[in-house]
Amino acid sequence: MHTTDKTNDRRKLVNNMKLQRLTIVLCSFGVLLFCGCKTIQKLPVTHTTDAHTYVKRCSTCHAVPHPSRLKYEHWKDKITVMSGKQMPVITELEKISVLSYINNHSGKGKKLYKLRCGSCHTEPDVERLRPDEWKNQLVVLDGNMPVFSEEERLAVVRYLETYAKRGRFKSEAQSAAIKGLQYPELRKIPPSFSLNDMEGNQFSLRKTEGKAVIVHFWATWCEPCREELSTLQSIWKKFANEDLQIVGIVSCKEREVDVKNFVLDQGVTFPILVDTTGQTYKSYLVKMLPTTYLIGRDGKILARANGAINWENNEIVNYIQEIVQQ
Ligand code: HEC
Ligand code: HEC
């Protein structure tokens, strides 16, 4: 009786131990899984268009980087637009290798060609590629990351801007919120333009070199533009002797006589240009009126305002003072 009890006990014990071991194994497996999952951080927001673009473009060659890991200041300038039919490779050596494969349809470059040119779409049939074209079309990223249009670049930068690790940018963004300014294309070179003013004089952005510039897109039919123009005029007067250029741009749909009357009414004395082809509105991605860009004395975009802002506001005036003195 006793012995059987003992054996039963032992069996139980052994079974218990087995169970315990199993639980330990399972638990650690669980922990591993848990830890494993934790390293793959979920993106903060995935349902917006910006997030879709970010995932679509930044997931093809490696796991999507969590923006909170990235330093915005560093990465915002590292997103490169492939223009026309340009396609990316990572290094100069890769370019040589891929080019040689496109030229000869054989050799060591084949593996790399498959890897690089097959990561975003199925690798194109190499025999259909014209070697002379591809010499110019292969872009060496050299540490930059590729997107395929300016819109995509803006979406990725916006997404990073919102969720990335912030340094100095944080305070800039905070003050931007106060001022109604945004910093979407921070430090980018603005598209150039050369347009005629109401008197037929040509005004070229290039000629403003060394000055800070406010480029203001507006229309006569736009109610908020009316008030804003008069506050811009006061800035124009205030900074008359400093390195600040203000320029207004209306679209080609405006009647000249309307613009002239409007400008006269408001007492505006800075140049008002007409975008006769619509190209400037397009290149500055003007989606609403008014839209205003601030360009620093170094010729790079500092900020943008979508919608009207009050240029007589003290903070704005101080900000412009800062920009002009920089
Ligand atoms: C064509 C392939 C490719 C695409 C597309 C791509 N990357 Fe990369 N990425 C690389 C390669 C290769 C490296 C590592 C090479 C290096 O350090 O130069 C890298 C490295 C990185 C790194 C540094 C490593 C790290 O994890 O911190 C970050 C951050 C990064 N990429 C972000 C992005 C973002 C953001 C996008 C989307 C705009 C993107 N990548 C799209 C190929 C790509
Ligand atoms: C990071 C993603 C990515 C990589 C890497 C990539 N492509 Fe592409 N490729 C695209 C996208 C996106 C398009 C469509 C572009 C468009 O229509 O604007 C495209 C289109 C093409 C086309 C069709 C263009 C046309 O004539 O309409 C060819 C050919 C092509 N890629 C070849 C290559 C080759 C060769 C490589 C390797 C060097 C490569 N791609 C690497 C994203 C990529």
Q: Which two tokens stand for residue 127?
A: 């025999």
What residue owns the CA closest to ligand 2's atom 36? 117
5-14, 291-300, 304-313 — most confident range: 291-300
For the ranges 122-131, 216-225, 301-310, the lowest mean pLDDT is seen at: 301-310
Phi-psi region of 213 (alpha: psi -120 to 50; beta: other; left: phi over 0): beta
- At 34 the pLDDT is 35
What structural domains and CATH numbers belong to the chain?
49-163 (no CATH), 181-325 (3.40.30.10)
Atom from ligand 1 closest to the CA of residue 90: 12
Q: At what angle do helices 150-163 and 49-58 cross, to 10 degrees?
A: 100
What is the rounded CA–CA span in Å between residue 139 and residue 147?
12
pLDDT digits (tens, 9 = 90+) for 2-29: 444 544 554 544 444 443 443 333 333 3
Ligand 2 pocket mutation, candidates 121, 123, 148, 150, criterion most atoms within 8 A of CB: 121
Q: Which ranges of the chain does DSSP label H, i.e. alpha helix?
A: 2-39, 49-58, 72-75, 92-104, 109-117, 131-137, 150-163, 169-179, 223-238, 256-266, 279-283, 314-325
State the pTM of this model: 0.54
- Residues having CB within 6 Å of any atom of ligand 2: 60, 85, 87-89, 98, 116-117, 119-121, 124, 138, 146, 148
pLDDT of 264 over the 80 cut: yes
